[in-house]
Amino acid sequence: MATALIILAAGQGTRMNSDLPKVLHSLGGVPLLAHALQSGAAAEPERLIVVTGHGGEAVAAAAHALNPDIEIVHQEEQLGTGHAVAAAAPRLEGFEGDVLVLYGDTPFIRPETITRMQAARRGGHDIVVLGFNAREPGRYGRLVMNGDQLERIVEARDATAEERAISLCNSGVLIADASVLMPLLERLEPYNSSGEYYLTDVVALAREAGHKAGVVICDEAETLGINTREELARAESLFQQEKRRAAAENGITLIAPETVFFAIDTVIGRDALIEPHVVFGPGVTVESGARIRAFSHLEGCHVSRGAVVGPYARLRPGAELAEDVRVGNFVEIKNARIEEGAKVNHLSYVGDARVGEAANIGAGTITCNYDGVMKHHTDIGARAFIGSDTMLVAPVKVGDGAMTATGSVITEDVPAEALAIARARQEVKPGLAKKLFARLRALKAKAGGGSAKG
């Protein structure tokens, strides 16, 4: 069945005490919003709608960066969850299928949970609400059941003492037949203690109209919503714990798991070895058997089988390391393909470049890729030998099997198998050092009588 995903992300998140809209705060290297999208992806939605409010433009831009197909609906005033979904409703006129509602600040809903909700929908419920048994039900909405039917949801502040004693609570996640939900949204009224349009009221309205409503129960941990920086930090810690656990389960060796940080989409092959203090930003894949040595930082890059990275390496977006490549200490690679068996072992910057197979890049090599306005490409051929401290002023090409002399500033292409030397020729003046020292010491003595050893 077709599904439209609606993510509610209009809230200000006042308690974050931040200029950044709440759903743009980062968890696992990506905005909270990306986590909600990932949860929703389990339903294979064919429509994606994000309801924005506070910081709407920034949220819209971030949403489009995650997926250009996302439709943005701006909710000018935040008059409640029902009002938010109603704001998206005009976009879904004529849509046939399910509507799935998620919150942008609730990152841990598991894909399996969404799948179970879909199964409950197919099982005959027109509306399925995701519930959980709360340790402290507090201000959560309570699910009022009648057998396996959900009769209504009552917000804590509107509940009787008897209803408040219910521990089965509303997570806020809901999936419903669009043809049932849409007409009910128009009938929501803000007659309650907070004067808001409650999405939760659609359940009682649906029951009155003879529809069926059911509940799927998940673990409370999945429903964790982020409201404060403290909660965000706790969520990050939970997220990382889960990633480390999953990494070990997938056959990855983490020597000091608690010091390794993953992003939402980090993919690492079996038998890869990750040393202590490694940070994976978004968009990293590491193949089986690669080794990431201590204190390395990787994002938007690919590391192939048998490659060794670090210690102290930085791989930035677009770094592609082929099999058996070596990238050593204090090396930065950006937007560059390092082909099979090539080595960049020490203190180098390789950006906007290709390094051919089995090439050797000497210590202190820099691709001077930026002229202050534009970026330029450096192409280094197979088996080339780049001498230490070579500056490659891009755009420039070094052919297969060519060599550059140590300390060269290469501004012109070097043909295959040629040697390029681009540095001042050394002159040796016999005895001149001794004379120079004597003169300098004499000058110093004359000036202040200080110690000649200084």
Return residues touching Ca ion (CB under 5 A).
225
Min dist CB 140 to ligand UD1, Å, is 4
- Give me the least distance between CB of 200 and ligand UD1, in Å please: 5
Nearer to ligand UD1, 157 or 245 (CB): 157
**Could you tell me the smallest distance in angstroms from the CB atom of residue 19 to ligand UD1?**
17
Which residues are identified as catalytic? Answer: 346
Least Cα distance to 129 among 194, 199, 68, 48 occurs for 199
Contacting residue, 4, 28, 29, 103, with ligand UD1 by CB under 6 A: 103
CA–CA separation, 375 vs 5, rounded Å?
A: 40
Residue 253: exposed, middle, or buried by beta-carbon count in 10 A (0-12, 13-18, 19+)?
A: middle
- Determine, following the binding rule CB under 6 A, whether residue 79 of this chain makes contact with ligand UD1: yes
Q: Which is nearer to ligand UD1, 139 or 270 (CB)?
A: 139
Answer yes or no whether residue 78 interacts with ligand UD1 by CB under 6 A. Answer: yes
* Lookup: tokens for 127: 């509306």
385 binds, among Ca ion, ligand UD1, none (CB under 5 to 8 A by kind): none
Q: Which long-range contacts (CB under 8 A, 24 or more apart) does 16-23 make?
A: 16/227, 16/228, 16/229, 16/232, 17/229, 18/229, 20/55, 20/58, 21/54, 21/55, 21/58, 21/59, 22/54, 22/104, 22/105, 22/226, 22/227, 23/59, 23/62, 23/104, 23/105
> Closest separation between CB of residue 155 and ligand UD1, Å?
6
Residue 52 Cβ vs ligand UD1, minimum distance, rounded to whole Å: 8
What does the per-residue mask of binding to ligand UD1 show for 201-230, with x meaning CB under 6 A? ------------------------x-----
Q: What is the DSSP letter of 444?
A: H
Pick the stretch among 163-171, 233-241, 314-322, 344-352 that binds ligand UD1 (CB under 6 A): 163-171
Asked if 140 is part of the footprint of ligand UD1 (rule: CB under 6 A), the reply reads yes
Tell me the CA distances in angstroms from 51 to 10, 59, 74, one per residue in order. 6, 9, 6
98/434 Cα distance (integer angstroms): 89
Helix (H) / strand (E) containing 332: strand 331-338
Q: Cβ closer to ligand UD1: 141 or 356?
A: 141
Positions touching ligand UD1 (CB under 6 A) are: 8-11, 51, 53, 75, 78-81, 83-84, 103-105, 140-141, 153, 155, 169-172, 198-200, 225
